[in-house]
Amino acid sequence: MIENQSDNVDHKENDVSSQENIPEDTSSSEDQINENDDLSSQKAEEINTEELKNTISNNDARLEQLEKEHETLKNQYVRISADFDNFRKRQSRDQDDLKIQLVSKSLTAILPIVDNFERARQQLKPESEEAQALHRSYQGLYKQLVEVLKQQGVAPMRVVGQQFDPNLHEAVLREPSEEFKEDFIVEELQRGYHLEGKVLRHALVKVSMGPGKQNSQEEEEKDTVEGDINSEENTSEDV
């Protein structure tokens, strides 16, 4: 009995000692697990940080590329818009020029009729009552024709006393003049016309050569005659 009790006591002591040893092993394993968790968490953080850096770098590169593409598209849009605006203006200008050309062609064909009306008005001098009535009727038609031309933008040139301009006038004759300086218009032979500020028909004019030209020519002719007379006198004396 005593031996059995002692054996039981020994078993109890062994159990107590074994129980005392168990917590020590458990705590060490928990520490190791915590260390492993910390390492894994650090590695995970490092991986996440690296991935985040790569993502940011890729996003920056993509953003820069998109900005370049946006700038390129913007420049293309501005260029296309400017080209279209220039095309629209050019088309409008060409249409206006074509319209003016067509109107000019039609009006130029009418201008000789206006010239005939003006010449008839200057030459005809009605005396009888019937002729005066006919003349008034003719004048009414002439005024209507002039009014139609005015509505189309046609305006006559006023050239007498103006300096000769080859862009507006066509010189037919040149003659000396005591009234006008050289290269000034003395007389209008055929009226010129403007259409919307452009020349529809050049004016046919007579241009002054300036004062003194005629006198100088007469003096030259006089000197020539006197020279001939003197030569004849010298010849008779020698004979």
Question: pLDDT of 57-106, one tens digit each?
Answer: 888 888 888 888 989 999 999 999 999 999 999 988 888 888 888 888 88
Domain ranges of the chain: 153-239
All residue ranges of the chain with pLDDT < 70 are 1-44, 212-239
- Spatial distance between the Cα atoms of 127 and 135, rounded to a whole number of angstroms: 10
Residue 37: per-residue pLDDT? 65
Residues 6+ apart with CB under 8 A from 189: 172, 173, 204, 205, 206
Residue 47 in tokens = 């991986």
Question: Structure pTM?
Answer: 0.53
Tokens of 131: 């002729």
CATH 2.30.22.10, applies to 153-239: yes
